[in-house]
Amino acid sequence: MLILNAYAKINLALDVLYKRPDGYHEVAMVMQAVRLADTVTLTSKPNDIALSINISGLPADASNLAYRAAALLKPYAFPQQGVHIRLDKQIPLAAGLAGGSADAAAVLKGLNCLWELNLSLDELSKFAAQLGSDVPFCLYNSTMLATGRGELLEPLPPLKSCYVVLAKPAIEVPTSWVYQQFKADKVSRRPDIAVMRNCLAAGSLTGVARNMVNVLESVTISAYPEIAKIKESMLRYGAMAALMSGSGPTVFGLAHCQEQAEAIACQLKAEGVPEIFVAETVSKVE
């Protein structure tokens, strides 16, 4: 039996460069893993793939990204090798935190061991990219620059360890809709990735905080102003910076320490924000 942590991600910077002929958008993103995790338990069983999940509202069938990850690797295993996948979800669904992608990446990494496939991380990355743009990052965690449609990764100097508050309003935002609605002329500020890289290299959390920009806010916040309210609240309660993660709707705030993060979380809870988490950042590849 193998038990893996499938970590959520946040986007410290997200820029959309242009729409590509294949329908995807060329992006440049600074991605960061955080210690809010689903638990993925893989148990050997004969022949086929089975999946169970601790929550309803998520299909436990062949459409699930965790199942699809196992199905991708199955042809490389012996026919009698199967697996039971157990997902214990903690990462909220459709939140902009790559929960499904993290599960899929954990299944790829775990089955590589359980089925003794001996695939390199590079090879696993190619399978990961077939499952979704965020899945390759979830194989590596830590702090990465993601380009292409998000699948081309370059390690960045790891973000100095800190705590984040994650707050999800009670809305679900489909990623495809956000990208479809994106218009470059509606963006007021774009991230400077080179400056962000320098701030990371210098270990400057305040520098990172000052340069956190996500151009997809121009779409999601226009449709859901409650996201802007959560950002404002986080700043009022002392966060160094607050930004929407990915396509939203979750907002994350950078805090100086765990105590401050917990205090911000408490105040957001009192305001009625339904789902709030405090998590440490992941500062090395795990």
Ligand X SMILES: C[C@](O)(CO)[C@H](O)COP(=O)(O)OP(=O)(O)OC[C@H]1O[C@@H](n2ccc(N)nc2=O)[C@H](O)[C@@H]1O
Ligand Y SMILES: Nc1ncnc2c1ncn2[C@@H]1O[C@H](COP(=O)(O)OP(=O)(O)OP(=O)(O)O)[C@@H](O)[C@H]1O
Residue list, annotated binding site for ATP: 92-102
Catalytic residue ranges: 9, 134
- Is residue 153 within 8 A of residue 136, CB to CB? The reply is yes
Q: Return the beta strands (E) in the chain as ranges.
A: 2-19, 25-46, 49-53, 81-88, 143-147, 152-155, 163-168, 213-214, 241-244, 251-255, 275-280
Cβ of 18: how many Cβ atoms within 10 Å? 8
Minimal distance, residue 216 CB to ligand Y, in Å: 10
Does 247 interact with ligand X (rule: CB under 6 A)? yes
Give the chain's end-to-end CA distance (angstroms, integer).
19
Query: Residue 98 or 273: which CB sits closer to ligand X?
Result: 98
Q: Is 176 in the site for ligand X (CB under 6 A)?
A: yes
98 forms part of the interface with ligand Y (CB under 6 A): yes
Residue 175 Cβ vs ligand Y, minimum distance, rounded to whole Å: 4
Placement of tokens 């902009």 in the chain: 96
Of 88-96, 156-164, 227-235, 266-274, the segment contacting ligand Y by CB under 6 A is 88-96
Distance of CA 238 to the CA centre of its chain: 24
64 interacts with, out of ligand X, ligand Y, none, CB within 5 to 8 A per kind:
ligand Y
Q: 96: part of which helix (H) or strand (E)?
A: none
Q: Tokens 């802007």 label which residue?
A: 228
Binding flags for ligand X, 29-68, as an x/- string (CB under 6 A): x---------------------------------------
Asked if residues 156 and 145 have their Cβ atoms less than 8 Å apart, the reply is yes
Q: Does 149 bind ligand X (CB under 6 A)?
A: yes
Least Cα distance to 44 among 116, 138, 134, 114 occurs for 114
Span near ligand Y by CB under 6 A; candidates 42-50, 62-70, 117-125, 192-200:
62-70
- In the list 32, 64, 81, 101, the residue contacting ligand X (rule: CB under 6 A) is 101
Q: Residue 15 interacts with ligand Y (CB under 6 A)?
A: no
Give the nearest distance from C-beta 220 to ligand X in angstroms. 10
166 binds, among ligand X, ligand Y, none (CB under 5 to 8 A by kind): none
Q: Which residues contact 240 (CB under 8 A, 6 or more apart)?
A: 205, 206, 209, 253, 254, 255, 256
Q: Residues interacting with ligand X, by CB under 6 A?
A: 11, 14, 23-25, 27, 29, 98, 101, 132-134, 149-150, 175-176, 179, 246-247
